[in-house]
Structure 1
Amino acid sequence: MFGILHNVLELRYVSGRFDTILTGRFLGLLVVLITGIMLCRLTPMLPWSAPAEILLGYLVLAVACRWGLRRRPLLLWTALAALGCAATGSLLFPGYHFVFLAHLHNVVPLFFLWEWARELKTGRVAFRATQAAWVLLVPALILAGTFDPWLGGDQDGAVAAFAGGGERLLSAYTPPAWLDTALALRLLVVFAFLQTMHYVVWVWFMPRHAHPATERFEQRVGALRGHRAWLLGAAGALLLAVLFISDYTGGKTLYGAIASYHAYLEFPVLLALLAGAPTREET
């Protein structure tokens, strides 16, 4: 219901609010690289697809660093060296890389909400504290075992009871070394909670409270004015639902490929902001 829809609405917000960043050759290069990632995700059984996605993902980050730090060469080379070290670790331990990426994607809304809060004339501190609480404090309590009594005593039984699966679900969101520990189920619950809140942010909060970003997006992409973006997301959800019902694995593969654009486009924007790139509100 919410997967493709939140992809569409997040891309609408990001490309509208950060239109001074996502433009020109920089945007074109990012789209080319992320399209390569999408193709990798469409062929998960090929031995080179995971390493290629990792390398392309770090290349996206390198391009963002080059764009954001082009006038600060020392910081640029430092950032590129750090990315090189991180890429080496990811290639050596791809299982850890993709688990970390899955959880990091659900933390990213905190940065966008934090940045959006600059528009608030009152209540900014309370708003940011609330966002930090659900992104950081609630998962910390889950990982500490606070909610274990509600998860069931048997790990595999609990997963089967509320999530319909077993090792496949646990391994997707748990580092390999922790699969046989109590942290496996807790990490699955953390992901489920943060993913739900992720949808709340992009499907409810931002469309309701970030109208200027929507207006700027509609100026750029007139074909998706008004409710057309919602209709696109709903149509995509309906078509994907048919595939999920008939072939769940194929549906998951296709959704993961489509989701590449919104997932990987977040990081260049955040890096550019950290490097001091101005938004429309600051120009």
Structure 2
Amino acid sequence: MKISLLFVLATLAALGIAVRSPLIVTVGGLIAFGALHNVLELRYVAGRFSALLTGRFLAVLLGLVTAIVLCRLAALVVGDPARHAEILIGYAVLAAACIHALRGRRLLGAGFVLFVGAAVSLSFPGYHFVVLAHLHNAVPLFFLWEWAGRLRRPALFRWTQVAWVLVVPALVLLGAIDFALPDGVDFRRFLIAPPGSSDLVGTRFLVVFAFLQTMHYFVWVYFLPRYAPEAPRFLLGRRAWLLGLGLAALLAVPFAIDYATGRALYGAFASYHAYLEFPVLLAAVAGGSQLVIRETAPGGQVPAAV
């Protein structure tokens, strides 16, 4: 009950600041917490799902994601061809997870879905990256749902997560709080709204992004490090925080010189945490991480984290 209330209060606070100053929240949050949450998220996922992220599967994923990093850096020079390559490699990451976790007809079915998805994404790359940006901020729902398995009565906590990840953004996008939205917000510098969106629709998407990004950081920088301290297997203690803060200080330099370049460099660095979470989620849902969940699931009740 107390943990669910914590998320209710965090949701109200995050929504309040996102509605009031979505641009400042988006930019300031990224600069302040972007690098740190990358480190803490990778530490949690690699530790919690260590039985899944191992051997050849891990090597394949790291190789593919490294190729995505290179594509994001190349996009600074060549533009669309590098973005199209990123889309293809991103689907290859999902294909690797399917091959690792599925067999027979399920694998064939997944392959067909990925083929259709890749074709649609290549036809509408602008929409692809908008969906990817918002989907990444929503991914904590899976990790929080799985974490709640340690609670005696997980239902309230789980549905609280569904509320902030899905219900609140849906209400904003449907216009429920249009009366409170700011005017004249420049959302077009971010790939967070469908191409050609009106000012009103673009502002809604920016508010949703600012809100979900803030909650995303709350989960990875506060909640999971505090309430799942047993999950990490490396960068223990203050090491992860020092590394994350050090990287944030380094990235602050290009951000200060030119925000667009700084964001592009951050996006390349962030590819590892952004793209590794999707195959973990897919393989876990398909049953690929049952061993690690059984092995590491704590017996008692709780603390919380990022």
TM-score by length of 1: 0.89
In structure 1, how many angstroms separate the alpha carbons of the residues matched to 2:39 and 2:136? 16
Assess, with a 3 A threshold, how the Cα gap between structure 1 residues 262 and 73 changes in structure 2: closer, same or farther.
Answer: same
In the TM superposition, residue 176 of structure 1 has moved relative to its aligned partner by 1.3
In structure 1, how many angstroms separate the alpha carbons of the residues matched to 2:148 and 2:60? 30
**Percentage of identical aligned residues:** 58
Deviations 1:100-123 (A, max 9, x none): 1011111110011001111112x3
Partner of 1:150: 180
| 1:61 matched to 2:79 | no
User: CA contact under 8 A between 1:19 and 1:279: conserved in structure 2?
Assistant: no
In structure 2, how many angstroms separate the alpha carbons of the residues matched to 1:202 and 1:168? 25
Q: What secondary structure is seen at the aligned counterpart in 1 of 2:222?
A: helix
| 1:194 matched to 2:225 | no
| 1:247 matched to 2:258 | yes
| 1:7 matched to 2:25 | no
Partner of 1:257: 268
Partner of 1:173: 192
In structure 2, how many angstroms separate the alpha carbons of the residues matched to 1:281 and 1:100? 29
User: Of 263, 270, 276, which residue of structure 1 is paired with 2:281?
Assistant: 270
Residue identity opposite 1:234 in structure 2: L
Partner of 1:41: 72
In structure 2, how many angstroms separate the alpha carbons of the residues matched to 1:195 and 1:248? 18
Partner of 1:79: 110
Assess, with a 3 A threshold, how the Cα gap between structure 1 residues 68 and 166 changes in structure 2: closer, same or farther.
Answer: closer
Deviations 1:150-172 (A, max 9, x none): 213x4xx1x1xxxxx45323xx1
**Structure 2 unaligned spans of 5+:** 1-31, 296-306
User: CA contact under 8 A between 1:20 and 1:279: conserved in structure 2?
Assistant: yes
User: Of 111, 119, 144, which residue of structure 1 is paired with 2:142?
Assistant: 111
Deviations 1:208-244 (A, max 9, x none): 0112212xx12xxxxx231011000000011111221
**Structure 1 unaligned spans of 5+:** 160-164, 219-223
What is the RMSD computed on CA atoms of the aligned residues?
1.2
- Structure scoring higher RCO (CA < 8 A, sep ≥ 6) equals 1
Assess, with a 3 A threshold, how the Cα gap between structure 1 residues 166 and 188 changes in structure 2: closer, same or farther.
Answer: closer
Partner of 2:47: 16
Residue identity opposite 1:52 in structure 2: A
In structure 2, how many angstroms separate the alpha carbons of the residues matched to 1:212 and 1:19? 13
User: CA contact under 8 A between 2:137 and 2:216: conserved in structure 1?
Assistant: yes
In the TM superposition, residue 145 of structure 1 has moved relative to its aligned partner by 1.4
Residue identity opposite 1:167 in structure 2: R
How many positions carry a matched residue from both structures?
A: 261
User: CA contact under 8 A between 1:17 and 1:279: conserved in structure 2?
Assistant: no
In the TM superposition, residue 181 of structure 1 has moved relative to its aligned partner by 5.5
Assess, with a 3 A threshold, how the Cα gap between structure 1 residues 60 and 166 changes in structure 2: closer, same or farther.
Answer: closer
In the TM superposition, residue 186 of structure 1 has moved relative to its aligned partner by 0.4
Residue identity opposite 2:89 in structure 1: L
